[in-house]
């Protein structure tokens, strides 16, 4: 992993891992199935509303980063999509399960991860989840980080680091980072610096999108500065 992932890329990867484990007969996923999975209202935090352009753009960049592939199975009428995180990040099934739950549902305690990963794998003891978190955090480029305990919680919370270093609730998001852990409650003002950070993140995403469109145009031989028929 090199550049931080966008929120759309994190959601796409999380959904691909989830559906591979929970509905293997429908995996790899068609584009329509992937969009529906990304925009689920249950088992998602935050809830997103990604259109086909956003999902296609995320898939393009994930393929270029070597994290996803688009294939056309024999006899299939449409292309389908799969992740290759086990190859790219050298993670095993338990590690991938924990990462997927964090990608789809945000920061959680080991107890929450144990309960919510039961569709992916089986952790018989809480210590097994803690061991997986320790392995992921001890990598040369950590994939998770400890956020310590939230108010009223008896366990530390953990978050993935795929979108950059996670930020505990109430702290401003560093410029260019899209991975804040907790949404601002309704009716409260954004923390100082957050608006500028969001603007910087939007500019960075727009730049990546423009570069992706330019690569597609170059491959097709379409000049972007001239109107198409």
Q: What is the CATH number of the domain that holds 138?
A: 1.10.10.10
Number of domains composing the chain: 3
Distance CA 29, CA 17 (A): 10
Cβ neighbors of 30 (< 8 A, separation 6 or more) are 78, 79, 80, 81
Q: Does residue 182 sit in the same domain as residue 207?
A: yes
228 φ/ψ sector (left φ>0, alpha ψ -120 to 50, else beta): beta
**Tens of pLDDT along 79-128?**
999 999 999 999 999 999 999 999 999 999 999 999 999 999 999 999 99
In a domain, 72, yes or no: yes
Residue ranges making up the domain that contains 174? 167-222
Q: Does residue 14 sit in the same domain as residue 25?
A: yes
Q: Does residue 154 sit in the same domain as residue 181?
A: no
* pLDDT for the residue 202: 62
* pLDDT for the residue 7: 96
Residues in the chain predicted with pLDDT less than 70, given as ranges, are 1-2, 167-208, 211, 217, 219, 221, 223-229
Tokens 């891992």, residue?
Answer: 17
Distance CA 143, CA 4 (A): 11
């Amino acid at each position: 992993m090199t550049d931080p992932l966008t929120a759309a890329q994190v959601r796409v990867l999380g959904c691909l891992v989830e559906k591979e484990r929970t509905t293997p007969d429908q995996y790899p996923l068609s584009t329509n199935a992937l969009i529906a999975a990304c925009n689920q209202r249950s088992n998602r935090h935050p809830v997103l509303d990604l259109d086909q352009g956003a999902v296609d753009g995320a898939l393009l960049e994930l393929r270029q980063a070597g994290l996803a592939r688009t294939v056309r199975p024999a006899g299939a009428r449409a292309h389908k999509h799969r992740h290759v995180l086990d190859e790219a990040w050298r993670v095993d099934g338990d590690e991938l399960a924990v990462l997927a739950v964090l990608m789809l549902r945000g920061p959680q305690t080991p107890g929450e991860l144990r309960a919510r990963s039961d569709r992916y794998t089986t952790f018989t003891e809480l210590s097994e989840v803690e061991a997986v978190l320790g392995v992921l955090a001890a990598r040369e480029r950590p994939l998770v980080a400890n956020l310590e305990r939230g108010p009223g919680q008896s366990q530390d919370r953990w978050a993935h680091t795929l979108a950059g270093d996670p930020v505990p609730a109430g702290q401003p998001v560093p410029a260019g980072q899209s991975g804040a852990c907790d949404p601002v409650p309704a009716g409260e003002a954004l923390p100082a610096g957050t608006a500028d950070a969001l603007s910087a993140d939007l500019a960075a995403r727009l730049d990546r999108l423009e570069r992706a469109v330019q690569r597609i145009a170059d491959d097709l031989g379409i000049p972007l500065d001239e109107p198409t028929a």
